[in-house]
């Protein structure tokens, strides 16, 4: 759980009150970005995620609205609410994750360290527990 962390994204406020701008550059993340995707129009009673990755690392940013990220290292579970577009959540490999409680209009941006590979996914929680025991 110690490797999971919130990371501040630089927020640049316009002095004339025209809004804010945030930038994710390579020195903010502990990995190079290989893929970008986003979740939107998720019903509030739906859950996304529900898997872990063997190698892939992930950085989640709530571009709009809010949602909860439940992270689990096989021993402990923790819920982190994301609701500020200038704070993202770094999830390293070997962590089970579930996204839930999406607010209306929530958009979750995901920056990841690898291209899609089905072999990298652990999709069953029982398999994840075995993976944790063996690694």
**Res. 125 pLDDT band, cuts 50 70 90:** very high
The three-class DSSP label of residue 127 is helix
pLDDT tens-digit map of 70-124: 999 999 999 999 999 999 999 999 999 999 999 999 999 999 999 999 999 999 9
The order of strands in the sheet holding 77-82 is 77-82, 67-72, 96-100, 48-53, 121-122
pLDDT mean over 20-48:
94
pLDDT in the model for residue 19: 94
Cα–Cα distance measured from residue 99 to residue 70, given in angstroms and rounded to the nearest whole number: 6
Q: Is the pLDDT of residue 14 over 80?
A: yes
Phi, psi for residue 126 in degrees, rounded to 5: -60, -40
- Annotated catalytic residue: which of 9, 28, 31, 51? 51
Q: Where are the beta strands (DSSP E) in 73-106?
A: 77-82, 87-91, 96-100
pLDDT mean over 129-135:
95
Q: Is 75 noted as a catalytic residue in this protein?
A: no
Q: Is the pLDDT of residue 26 over 90?
A: no
Q: Per mean pLDDT, which range of 3-7, 15-19, 90-94 is the poorest?
A: 15-19
pLDDT mean over 26-51:
95
pLDDT in the model for residue 20: 95
pLDDT tens-digit map of 42-82: 999 999 999 999 999 999 999 999 999 999 999 999 999 99
pLDDT in the model for residue 80: 98
């Amino acid at each position: 759980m110690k490797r999971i962390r919130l990371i501040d994204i630089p927020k640049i406020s316009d002095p004339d009150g025209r809004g804010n701008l945030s930038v994710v550059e390579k020195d903010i993340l502990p990995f190079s970005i290989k893929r970008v995707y986003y979740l939107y129009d998720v019903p509030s009673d739906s859950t996304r995620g529900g898997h872990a990755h063997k190698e892939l690392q992930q950085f989640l940013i709530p571009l709009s609205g809010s949602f909860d990220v439940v992270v689990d290292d096989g021993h402990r579970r923790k819920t982190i609410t994301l609701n500020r577009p200038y704070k993202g959540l770094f999830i390293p490999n070997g962590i089970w994750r579930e996204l839930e409680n999406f607010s209306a209009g929530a958009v979750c941006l995901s920056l990841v360290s690898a291209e899609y590979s089905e072999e990298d996914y652990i999709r069953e929680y029982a398999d994840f527990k075995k993976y944790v025991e063996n690694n």
